[in-house]
Amino acid sequence: MTVRVCVVGCGAIGSLYAAHLATLDDVEVWAVDVSAPHVAAIEAHGLRVTGRADFTAPVHARTDAADVPPCDLGIVATKAAHTRDAVAACATVFADAAVASVQNGLGNEEVLAELVPRVIRGTILPAGAVTEPGVVRFDAQGDTWLGPFEPAPAATEEVALLASLLTRAGLRTHALADARGPQWDKVVFNSATSPLAALTGLPVGPVCEDPALRAQVDALVAEALQVCAALGIATSADPAALVAEAIEVAHDHRPSMLQDVLARRPTEIDWLNGGIAAQGRLAGVPTPRHDAMVALVRGLERSWSLPQEH
Q: What is the CATH number of the domain that holds 213?
A: 1.10.1040.10
In a domain, 309, yes or no: no
In a domain, 166, yes or no: yes
Q: What is the pLDDT of residue 140?
A: 84
- Sign (positive/negative) of CA torsion 276, 281, 285, 287? positive
Q: Which residues contact 259 (CB under 8 A, 6 or more apart)?
A: 129
Task: For Cα atoms 116, 188, 295, give the angle at the middle one, nearest 5 degrees.
Answer: 90
Backbone angles phi, psi at 255, to 5 degrees: -60, 160
Q: What is the pLDDT of residue 240?
A: 78
In a domain, 126, yes or no: yes
Q: What is the CATH number of the domain that holds 91?
A: 3.40.50.720
159 and 216 both lie in a single domain: no
Which of 178, 206, 228 is a domain's end point? 178
198 and 101 both lie in a single domain: no
18 and 103 both lie in a single domain: yes
Q: How far apart are CA 57 and CA 42, in angstroms?
A: 9
Q: What is the pLDDT of residue 238?
A: 79
Q: How far apart are CA 118 and CA 95, in angstroms?
A: 10
The count of domains in the chain is: 2
Q: What is the pLDDT of residue 310?
A: 59
57 and 100 both lie in a single domain: yes
In a domain, 308, yes or no: no
Q: What is the pLDDT of residue 287?
A: 98
158 and 221 both lie in a single domain: no
Q: Are strands 144-148 and 118-124 parallel, antiparallel or unpaired?
A: antiparallel
Distances 185 to 106, 124, 243, 247 between C-alpha atoms, Å: 12, 10, 11, 17
Q: How far apart are CA 137 and CA 119, in angstroms?
A: 28
160 and 228 both lie in a single domain: no
Q: What is the pLDDT of residue 194?
A: 95
In a domain, 310, yes or no: no
Beta strands (DSSP E) in the chain are 3-8, 27-32, 47-51, 55-57, 60-62, 73-76, 98-101, 118-124, 127-132, 135-140, 144-148, 173-175
26 and 173 both lie in a single domain: yes
Which of 152, 178, 204 is a domain's end point? 178
216 and 161 both lie in a single domain: no
In a domain, 51, yes or no: yes
Q: Which residues contact 56 (CB under 8 A, 6 or more apart)?
A: 19, 45, 46, 47, 48, 49
Question: What's the domain range around 209?
Answer: 181-303
Backbone angles phi, psi at 276, to 5 degrees: -65, -40
123 and 213 both lie in a single domain: no
262 and 197 both lie in a single domain: yes
In a domain, 71, yes or no: yes
139 and 191 both lie in a single domain: no
Low-confidence ranges of the chain (pLDDT < 70): 309-310
Which of 131, 154, 178 is a domain's end point? 178
140 and 266 both lie in a single domain: no
